[in-house]
Structures are given as structure tokens and as C-alpha cells.
Amino acid sequence: MGAESQEQVEYRLMIRDMPAGERPRERLKYYGAGALSTGELLAIILRVGVHGESVLQVANRLLARYGGLAGLARASFTDLCAERGVGEAKAAQLKAALELGRRLLVASPQERPQVKSPADAANLLSLDMGMLEQEEMRVILLDTRNRVLAIETVYRGSLNSAVVRIGELFRAAIRSNCAAVILAHNHPSGDPSPSPEDIHLTRDAVRAGRLLGIEVLDHLIIGQGQYVSLKERGLGF
């Protein structure tokens, strides 16, 4: 056998403690990219971790810090370079991969996910949002056929109707000229039961949407492995 390349050596050293069936590259090879989590796909792009932290741990840390792929896409090159385990080369790889994904979405609008039910929307968000340690508010932007244009993170931290400015919820929607939105936020406790503040915020957003000509289709609360649709429960709508 020929000598291993530097890349192969680095990869082997960083994943040597992982069971063969759980290694991202092997899983992609045998099961296809669709079987991998977002963190695993990101780990393949990053290739190697840092001392004391595997590449998969680095990937999941970045996803948690920036609120998923949408947040990573918005992060500046400088911010990514400053992250432990990233640097200029990996930051460039991340930016290039995310931009390719964005261009594919623009080039093939018919391939955009279509939201036909609260479960469809929850499936887009639950994996990332269900594990967040702080609250986030995200807005799914939809076209006239309820196809996803983008998912924007508009707030991080403690969320209540006194903190969230309704105008911020619609800023990206107005800029994108979208037809409808779905609001979603998580409860770090894991319990997605809506609070009175959640219902009040929903009611205000629905009213504002009507004035702007942008329909608020739903407001989801994401917990750990479960969600609540305020539209299905008739709360705030």
C-alpha cells in the first residue's frame, strides 16, 4: 500500500476513537449524505478538530453558537476565523460550502422545501432548536406556494412580548418580498407549552402581518423532541 496522504493521517488521528459505523465519511460513503446530521456534514468540511476537541465536537459547537446553518452563513469571515479550531482555511471552506448551497437554492427554486403542515415546519427546525441552551426566535420566509425562501434568526436570549419588537419579525420578510412567514422559538426547558406571553406575541404578530400583507401561518414552540403549533390550538390566531 502507498503512503497515506497528510489529509488521511489527520482524519484518522482525529476520529480514531469513534466506532467505524459512526465516522462521518464512512457513513456518507455507505448510507449517503442524507443520512448524516448537519453536524456530521459540517465535520467533513472542517476535516480535523483541535487538541481536546474532535472535529464533530467543533462542528456542533459552531452550530450551537451561531444558531444553525443560517447563523453560520451570516457570520463574518473574521468571526469564523476567531473561533477555536477554525482559522482562515476552514473559514474559507465553510463560506464556500454555504455559498454553494445558497446558489443551488436560488438556481433550483422547485427543490425548496414546501411547508404543508406544522410538522413540516417543525422538521426543519427541531434538530437544531431542540438542543439550544438559550431561547431563539426564528422566522421561516415562504413564497406564494409555501416554499421556503430562508430561515432567519431574529432574536437570541430571553424572549417575551416586551423584548421582541414586532417590526424585527418582519424585517427580512419585507426585504425578501415573501408572501407568508412562520414564527418559531424554543423553550430550553424542553417543555413546549405556550405561555401567556407567547400567545400575546403571536396575536400582535398576526395583526401586524395583516397590515403588512404578510400572512403569519403559524407560531411553533420547539421543545426537546416535541413541539406545539399555536395555530392548531387556536392561540393568538
The CATH number of the domain where 184 resides is what? Answer: 3.40.140.10
On whether both 103 and 182 belong to a single domain, the answer is no
On whether both 75 and 164 belong to a single domain, the answer is no
Compute the distance between CA of residue 228 and CA of residue 202 in angstroms, rounded to an integer: 13
Task: Give CA 182 to chain center in angstroms.
Answer: 14
Which of 107, 134, 163 marks a domain boundary?
Answer: 107
Q: How many domains does the chain have?
A: 2
Which of 107, 141, 167 marks a domain boundary?
Answer: 107
Q: Is residue 121 part of a domain?
A: yes
On whether both 29 and 100 belong to a single domain, the answer is yes
Q: Is residue 1 part of a domain?
A: no
Coil/strand/helix, residue 151: strand
Beta strands in 129-178 (DSSP E): 136-142, 148-156
On whether both 82 and 34 belong to a single domain, the answer is yes
Domain that holds residue 84: 6-107
For residues 38, 218, 160 and 122, what is the CA-based torsion angle, rounded to 10 degrees? -20
On whether both 139 and 37 belong to a single domain, the answer is no
pLDDT, block means (10 residues), the chain with 237 residues: 48 55 78 82 87 87 86 86 91 89 65 87 84 86 92 77 77 91 93 93 95 96 92 95
pTM above 0.85, yes or no: no
Sign, CA torsion 152/95/149/58: negative
Which of 107, 138, 160 marks a domain boundary?
Answer: 107
On whether both 208 and 225 belong to a single domain, the answer is yes
pLDDT of residue 14: 56
Are 15 and 55 in contact by the 8 Å Cβ rule? The answer is: yes
On whether both 89 and 175 belong to a single domain, the answer is no
On whether both 71 and 132 belong to a single domain, the answer is no
On whether both 126 and 156 belong to a single domain, the answer is yes
